[in-house]
Amino acid sequence: MHIKAGGIAIITLLLSTGFQISDAQAGPEKRCLACHSFADKNNMGPGLKGVFGRKAGTHPGFEYSESLKNADWVWNEENLRKWLYDAPSSIKELTGDDKAKTEMPKYKYKGEKADKTINFLKTLK
């Protein structure tokens, strides 16, 4: 009996809290939450709401690195793919400056992982 009751409690818990997780945050993007919110709020990293199609380094209230502050590109599939694979090298390529630096770590996301993450970012409007 106890086990049964516990099982129901767990199912209820999953139904009440789990859906949000399975909706949006169960894919490779969940690791981003360590530093980013998927809303406007800035944490260690800038809020990612609306980041797809936004000019890099322009989320209000975030203290970007010099490299992103002066960025002249818009986040699209191509540069996000580079960024998610290796931000510290791609910042050099994107800025054309060998000394450019970013605090966003290297994630080595590629293939399906990168696709899923980018598709997810597109939904953050």
Q: Which CB atom, from 31 or from 92, has the smaller least distance to ligand HEC?
A: 31
Q: Nearest-5° angle of CA 85, CA 90, CA 82?
A: 40
Between 14 and 93, CB nearer to ligand HEC = 93
Q: Is 46 exposed, middle or buried, given 0-12, 13-18 or 19+ CB atoms closer than 10 A?
A: buried
Q: Taking a C-beta distance cutoff of 8 angstroms, is the pair 33, 25 a contact?
A: yes
Q: How far is the CB of 22 from ligand HEC (least distance, A)?
A: 18
**Least gap, CB of 70 to ligand HEC (angstroms):** 11
**Minimum CB distance to ligand HEC smaller for 6 or for 69:** 69
- Least Å from the CB of residue 35 to ligand HEC: 3
Assess contact for 61 and 37: CB atoms under 8 A: no
Taking a C-beta distance cutoff of 8 angstroms, is the pair 106, 87 a contact? Answer: yes
Residue 7 C-beta: closest distance to ligand HEC, Å: 34
Helix (H, G, I), strand (E, B) or coil at 75: coil
Q: Which is nearer to ligand HEC, 24 or 35 (CB)?
A: 35
- The residues of the shown chain that bind ligand HEC, judged by CB under 6 A, are 29, 31-32, 34-36, 44-46, 51, 56-57, 59, 64-65, 67-68, 75, 83-84, 102-105, 107, 109, 117, 121
Could you tell me if 67 and 101 are in contact, meaning their C-beta atoms sit under 8 angstroms apart?
yes
